[in-house]
Amino acid sequence: MNEDSGALEEALGYAFRDRELLARALTHKSRAYEDGCERGHGDNEQLEFLGDSILGFVVSEALVLQFPEWPEGRLSRVKAHLVSARHLHEVAQQLRLGDHLLLGRGEELSGGRTKRGLLADALEALIAVMYLDGGMDRTRAFVQARIIGALTGDELVTDSATDYKSDLQQLAQSLHLPQPRYSIVEERGPEHAKTFLVEVRVGRDWSCRAEGLSKKTAGQRAARELLEKIAARES
């Protein structure tokens, strides 16, 4: 296993008692094959299967408890976003998970450390071994902190159910304004827990800034605020 696994544990906020479990969660099937393991042994595929189920349960539980008034359709949309490969990839990047993966030579040469599906799968495997090593309470805390985040209901809907960037683009076009331009104003915090400040501008007269745990989230929030500002002025 990567000798710098302590940095990963620090990013996760969890120290593993069983380090062989951690090593398996980080081992791609290409590496297990090169090491002479039989198919399904020594790699993280089974752990990914378990982690996927645990993640789905924990996210469903958290949403039902936090938003008891929401209908099933909204719960399903938000859950689909939170467990999606795109979102898990963003979380894995914040954790610098790719730096710690154990890959076969071919996968290494083909850029496996940055592949969306591979990183999302490894994060699910990590959730599984955290559960096996530390129990559900510790796993639930990690999922809440790093995958669900400290988001309000409105923010969850913003991140998952509505594309405010597209709405802003359409509004600008209908008002014969320049197309929105986005820029990263500032990045704050350590590599494994960054926040991003993004600014959106429409022409010279309209602009808004917003923060988020990812560039995408911050951009969506900035677009939402500018939409509301323009709509208020035009109404």
Residues 191 and 145 in one domain: no
Q: Hey, what are 26's tokens?
A: 């980080």
Amino acid 130: pLDDT: 97
Residues 13 and 99 in one domain: yes
The identity of residue 80, as a single letter, is A
Residue with the bigger pLDDT between 34 and 214: it is: 214
C-alpha Rg value of the chain to the nearest Å: 20
Residue 157 neighbours by CB distance under 10 Å: 17
* pLDDT surpassing 70 at residue 89: yes
Domain membership of residue 157 (yes or no) is: no
CB 79 within 8 Å of CB 63: yes
CATH of the domain at 52: 1.10.1520.10
Q: Please, what sign has the CA dihedral across residues 146, 151, 155, 157?
A: positive
* pLDDT surpassing 90 at residue 164: no
Residues 65 and 113 in one domain: yes
Dihedral, 106, 112, 116, 118 alpha carbons, nearest 10: 70
What is the pLDDT confidence band of residue 166, given thresholds at 50, 70 and 90?
A: confident
Q: What is the mean pLDDT of residues 10-35?
A: 87
Residues 22 and 85 in one domain: yes
Cα–Cα dist 102/31, whole Å: 6
What does DSSP assign to residue 194? Answer: -
Question: Residue 206 half-sphere exposure, CB side, CA atoms within 13 Å?
Answer: 27
Q: What domain range is 27 assigned to?
A: 5-151
Q: What is the mean pLDDT of residues 82-109?
A: 89
Number of domains observed in the structure of the chain: 2
Residues 65 and 174 in one domain: no
* pLDDT surpassing 70 at residue 77: yes
List the single range of 33-42, 100-109, 154-163, 187-196 with lowest mean pLDDT: 154-163
The identity of residue 153, as a single letter, is G
Nearest to 214 by CA among 154, 166, 149: 149
Amino acid 159: pLDDT: 47
Amino acid 60: pLDDT: 95
CATH of the domain at 200: 3.30.160.20
Residues 42 and 139 in one domain: yes
Cα–Cα dist 131/206, whole Å: 48
φ and ψ at 11, to 5 degrees? -65, -40
Residues 69 and 130 in one domain: yes
Cα–Cα dist 141/92, whole Å: 16
Q: Hey, what are 51's tokens?
A: 């982690």
pLDDT tens per residue, range 181-224: 999 999 988 776 778 999 999 999 999 999 987 888 889 889 98
Cα–Cα dist 230/93, whole Å: 34
Q: What is the mean pLDDT of residues 20-40?
A: 79
Q: Which active-site residues does the annotation give? A: 52, 124
Amino acid 65: pLDDT: 92
Mean pLDDT (the chain) is 85
Cα–Cα dist 215/164, whole Å: 14
Amino acid 171: pLDDT: 86
Q: What is the mean pLDDT of residues 120-146?
A: 95
List the single range of 50-59, 75-84, 117-126, 128-137 with lowest mean pLDDT: 75-84
* pLDDT surpassing 70 at residue 129: yes
CB 219 within 8 Å of CB 198: yes
Residue with the bigger pLDDT between 2 and 64: it is: 64
Residues 32 and 143 in one domain: yes
